[in-house]
Structure 1
Amino acid sequence: MPDFDPVSYAIPAFVALVLIEMLWARWRSPQAYEPKDTLVSLLFGLGSTIAGLLLGGFALAVFIAAYEFRLFTIGWEWWAWPVCFVLDDLKYYWVHRFGHRSRWFWASHVNHHSSQHYNLSTALRQTWTGAFTLGFAFALPLVLLGFHPGMIAICGGFNLIYQFWIHTEAIDRMPRWFEAVMNTPSHHRVHHATNPRYLDRNYAGVFIVWDRMFGTFEPERPREEEPIRYGIVKQLGSFNLLWAVFHEWVGMLGDIWRAPWKHKLSYLLREPGWSHDGSRETSDMIRARWQEQQAHGTQEPVPPEGAPPAQKPIAGPRRAA
């Protein structure tokens, strides 16, 4: 199996682009970067790399074992690469969608959404606990179909590299044909927004066509019409790295511990914000309430930059969503 990790080769470019964006932000958008927030993002990236080295071998071992039961042997043919890349991106769409719709997966994925700033350093906020959720199992159909685990890993690396550049406000819109097919900064800003209209939308990795196909696409509105608020519905309010990494695991386990027995599994598997007594709100509930307000001609005020949103939080006092 080839020992090639495209992400490791891209790291110098990541660093260079972050520095370039910092210079742009200094003159054009000073609020885009906050030193403590950026430091936390960088430490997230470092920790994620270490976690990948420590835990990534388990996923690889599972894939190699599963490969023995493949239906076909596709091999390393040239045509297999684009097919694998597209299918891997479709896989990414679904694992990403589950990452927002199941609290078990959200406990890990929330790390990526925890910054209230949107810049290239935000792309480095990668989870430390992703392998623990077993989300890599979404790739098993590709392995069983006959794509080599090494090919899948390399395609996944290029997928991650593509997603780096879309975490910016320095680029407004790409050409219309590009926006129609590919994921772009505009589309991904929507994904990172906490505005009710934008919650749980635009899950795409590379190809935005998946969102268009499966009914989760939402275009970005002009900023003067609806400014974007980034982060999570109940903001962390802290630059503590360990709390940022593990806060949702702590909140989820606390909810499971306190819940009646018949509801414990629901706090693990159902969508973030679900509660057995209706004391919290899911993203669907927040959106429905907002749509009702729109229908009646009322709208909640947009809070100032950096402030928690005016809507009810999904989470309880020790939980973010």
Structure 2
Amino acid sequence: MKTTVQLNEVLQNSPNLILYGAPILIGLALIELILTIKDKKGLYEGKDFLTSLFIGLVHLVEGIFTKSAFFLLVLWIYNTVPWSIPVNWATSILCYIVLDFLRYVSHRLSHEINFLWATHVTHHNSTNFNLSTAFRQSWTQGIKIIFYLPVSFLGFHPVVFYIVHQLALLYSFSVHTKMIKKLPKWYSYLFVTPSHHRVHHGRNRKYLDKNYGSTFIIWDRIFNTFQEEEEEPVYGILDQPKTYNPVFLVFHVWIDIFKKIGCANSFKEVFDILFKPPGEVKKANYTRQTNSKLSVKME
């Protein structure tokens, strides 16, 4: 018979790896910074680094509240469904694989749906690529927790879910570097590498919307979103902000969305602004005419 899991059980058996690991992650970024300065590689920019660090620290504090709400929901779903998956090493690995696939789906849709792009663009709007870039996590990305709820519906234990989720985040941090060039082919065929993720952050035409994988690159190979690193990526986004203001870097796409919604004249236009791909929404120039009707012109 399935045993109901209590919140205190989850809290007692689920170490906050991200919170405990934060000083180590910041330390690794500082070491990379020192090494690149010493070798004159110019991979870091002072203002950019401080901006990324500030965004990351606010996200860490904000995450205490959003993740608490998220795992209360996870706990409720697990206790509601009548089935459960036994806890052992094999099922823990299976949980990681299932979660990684859902992270692929969430990540891909975050590039293909405009309002989800608003929750993710912060991670891409640096023209540098280094360990500190991983700190750039939007303060509104908690919206995307809905993509991970199937893990609980399947019956994976909340403690297992919480731990593998954090391990996945830590792995994602490790691939944000230019210090590691290419890894062995067998590893690169299955797992995301720094080379793969450099492509993902590139704004070169051939690199756009590629390599969404978090831990396993195999999803990209299966769903035809894989791209090998060839020429040096140019980092940032197509409409790159010319500022280091962290608040603007977090909310600039949201600001654009609400401005366009303010000019919308129908539910369909609001729907398009929210759910069409970012590029299509960006090309549409929404303006109000003198008769208060919406004029939409394609640039």
TM-score by length of 2: 0.87
Question: Superposition pairs for residues 92-241 of structure 1, below 5 Å?
Answer: 92-131=103-142, 133=143, 135-221=144-230, 226-241=231-246
**1-structure distance, mates of 2:168, 2:218:** 15
Q: Is the 8 A contact 2:14 2:162 kept in 1?
A: no
1:23 maps to 2:34 = yes
1:265 corresponding residue in structure 2: 271
Q: Is the 8 A contact 1:93 1:210 kept in 2?
A: yes
**1-structure distance, mates of 2:208, 2:40:** 25
Cα 1:29–1:109 change in 2 (3 A) is: farther
**1-structure distance, mates of 2:140, 2:233:** 28
**2-structure distance, mates of 1:208, 1:152:** 21
Cα 1:274–1:260 change in 2 (3 A) is: farther
**1-structure distance, mates of 2:162, 2:70:** 10
Q: Which runs of 5+ in 2 are unaligned?
A: 1-9, 287-297
**1-structure distance, mates of 2:130, 2:54:** 15
**Runs in 1 of length 4+ with deviation above 4 angstroms?**
276-280
Q: Is the 8 A contact 1:71 1:144 kept in 2?
A: no
Identity %: 36
Cα 1:218–1:29 change in 2 (3 A) is: farther
Q: CA deviation at 1:279?
A: 5.6
1:255 corresponding residue in structure 2: 260
1:307 corresponding residue in structure 2: none
Q: Is the 8 A contact 1:263 1:276 kept in 2?
A: no
Q: CA deviation at 1:182?
A: 0.7
In structure 1, give the amino acid aligned to 2:21: A
Q: CA deviation at 1:50?
A: 1.1
1:42 corresponding residue in structure 2: 53
Q: Which runs of 5+ in 1 are unaligned?
A: 281-314, 317-321
TM-score by length of 1: 0.82
In structure 1, give the amino acid aligned to 2:207: Y
Q: CA deviation at 1:273?
A: 1.8
**1-structure distance, mates of 2:204, 2:159:** 39
2:4 corresponding residue in structure 1: none
1:275 maps to 2:284 = no
1:65-110, CA deviations, whole angstroms, 9 ceiling, x for partnerless residues? 2113325211422322111111111111111111111111110100
Partner of 2:203: helix, strand, or coil? coil
In structure 2, give the amino acid aligned to 1:38: F
Q: CA deviation at 1:250?
A: 0.5
In structure 2, give the amino acid aligned to 1:199: L
1:171-201, CA deviations, whole angstroms, 9 ceiling, x for partnerless residues? 1101111111110010000000001100000
Q: Is the 8 A contact 2:201 2:235 kept in 1?
A: yes
Q: CA deviation at 1:278?
A: 5.0
1:33 corresponding residue in structure 2: 44
1:215-242, CA deviations, whole angstroms, 9 ceiling, x for partnerless residues? 1000000xxxx33110111111001111
In structure 2, give the amino acid aligned to 1:255: K
**2-structure distance, mates of 1:119, 1:53:** 25
Q: CA deviation at 1:259?
A: 2.7
Q: Is the 8 A contact 1:103 1:269 kept in 2?
A: yes
Count of aligned pairs between the two proteins? 276
Partner of 2:70: helix, strand, or coil? helix
Cα 1:188–1:229 change in 2 (3 A) is: same
Partner of 2:62: helix, strand, or coil? helix
Q: Is the 8 A contact 2:123 2:136 kept in 1?
A: yes
Deviates more, 1:85-94 or 1:260-269: 260-269
**2-structure distance, mates of 1:277, 1:27:** 43
Partner of 1:274: helix, strand, or coil? helix
